[in-house]
Amino acid sequence: MHLLNADLHSHSSVSDGTLAPEALAERAAAAGVELWALTDHDEISGLARAREAALDLGMAFLGGCEISVSYAGETVHVVGLGVDGTNGPLVAGLEATRAGRRERARAMAEGLARVGIRGAFEGALKYVGNPDLISRTHFARYIVEAGHCAHTHEVFQRYLTDGKPGYVPHQWATLADAVAWIRGAGGEAVIAHPGRYKFTANGEWGLFTDFMGHGGRGVEVVTGSHTVAEQVRYGDAAIEYGLAASRGSDFHSPEESRTALGALPDLPGRLTPVWTLLAHRIESRTPLDLAAA
Ligand code: AMP
Ligand code: MN
Ligand code: MN
Ligand code: MN
């Protein structure tokens, strides 16, 4: 049976990816992706360009975003799929979520300067495609360029995670708001890469029940940041909680991403693909056989 090649998690230069939305669309289409979503961090300003490019390339498209959320003492990410990027409350909510990134970045640069990494604010800015969205990823690229670390993953471990010199805690959106903005904009909310959270305060299943209580209906099962064991663990959780399952590479750049666009295992047949909840939101110039997927 033909399984749909859906990639529902990727980043462009509108957030912390390195490719423009059009170039990302081209790369996805060339890789055989049939249904694609752009999910920039806290931003939907790339969606119109991404949509045009995707439709021109014969790819089906879902507007998306990945919202930063503060939950039980840690940062979790909620992916919105099928959102209308012109929806007022979503646009305003994301704008409020982005606010403060610049001040945070200045404080990060001060912490880094104290351990001998100079000029990090200006250095990170050179990699920023959207002045409203300066992120830790941009700092990581600069710190590699400046020769302090061999690769960005090492930068996160040594400098940019909780307790390290360049880490500055930040207050992001609430879980309730993030889910409400996504659903209010016509989309479905999905817990991004659950395998990456520590779940110290509330336990991982506390996040699942709170998320569902707010109206969330999906969880990423097959993602670039899950091991095979995590795919099984969160596939089981999707069934136990009655959540739909998503599949996405979390692609950021040809140089840095572990997983290429569209190059993921298929969702196990026992799961309900999240795109079956979003058939009415998928845009495509050619018919897409969701039934076969
Ligand atoms: P921010 O929103 O500024 O806190 O940046 C978060 C981004 O940093 C994530 O979306 C990832 O792209 C990146 N990131 C987080 N942890 C790591 C890691 N260990 N290695 C590489 N990139 C990471
Ligand atoms: Mn990122
Ligand atoms: Mn994420
Ligand atoms: Mn992501």
Any ligand 1 atom below 6 A from CB of 18 = no
Which atom of ligand 1 is least distant from the CA of 135?
3
Other C-beta atoms closer than 10 Å to the C-beta of 161 total: 12
Q: In this structure, are 209 and 84 located in the same domain?
A: yes
Q: In this structure, are 23 and 105 located in the same domain?
A: no
Instruction: State the CATH number of the domain containing residue 272.
Output: 3.20.20.140
Q: In this structure, are 153 and 80 located in the same domain?
A: no
pLDDT reported for residue 289? 72
Any ligand 1 atom below 6 A from CB of 41 = yes
Any ligand 1 atom below 6 A from CB of 153 = yes
Q: What is the pLDDT along the chain (293 residues), one digit of tens a residue?
A: 458 999 999 999 999 999 999 999 999 999 999 999 999 999 999 999 999 999 999 999 999 999 999 999 999 999 999 999 999 999 999 999 999 999 999 999 999 999 999 999 999 999 999 999 999 999 999 999 999 999 999 999 999 999 999 999 999 999 999 999 999 999 999 999 999 998 877 788 999 999 999 999 999 999 999 999 999 999 999 999 999 999 999 999 999 888 999 999 999 999 999 999 999 999 999 888 775 55
pLDDT reported for residue 203? 81
Q: Is the pTM of this model over 0.85?
A: yes
| Closest ligand to Cα 170 | 1
**DSSP result, 145-201:** HTTS-SSHHHHIIIIISTTSTT------B-HHHHHHHHHHTT-EEEE--GGG---TT
Any ligand 1 atom below 6 A from CB of 226 = no
pLDDT reported for residue 1? 43
Asked if the structure places residue 198 within a domain, the reply is: yes
Most informative mutation of 106, 108, 156 for ligand 1 (most atoms within 8 A of CB) = 156
Ligand 3: distance of its center to the CA of 77 in Å? 5
Query: CA-CA distance, 165 to 111, in Å (whole number)?
Result: 5
Count of the separate structural domains present in the chain: 2
Asked if the structure places residue 166 within a domain, the reply is: no
Handedness of CA 192, 195, 197, 202 (dihedral sign): positive
Q: In this structure, are 89 and 207 located in the same domain?
A: yes
Q: In this structure, are 121 and 32 located in the same domain?
A: no
Q: In this structure, are 53 and 142 located in the same domain?
A: no
| Residue-range definition of the domain harbouring residue 114 | 101-160
Asked if the structure places residue 165 within a domain, the reply is: no
Any ligand 1 atom below 6 A from CB of 156 = yes
35 neighbors 9 (Cβ within 8 angstroms): no
pLDDT reported for residue 291? 58
Give the CA count within 13 Å in the CB-facing half-sphere of 246: 35
Ligand 1: distance of its center to the CA of 195 in Å? 14
Q: In this structure, are 88 and 218 located in the same domain?
A: yes
**Residues β-bridged to residue 248:** 223
Could you say which of 111, 126, 160 is where a domain stops?
160
Q: In this structure, are 59 and 112 located in the same domain?
A: no
Q: In this structure, are 187 and 86 located in the same domain?
A: yes
**Residue nearest ligand 1's atom 8 by CA:** 137
Which atom of ligand 1 is least distant from the CA of 153?
20
What lies within 8 Å, CB to CB, of 168 at 6+ separation is 104, 107, 108, 111
Any ligand 1 atom below 6 A from CB of 121 = no
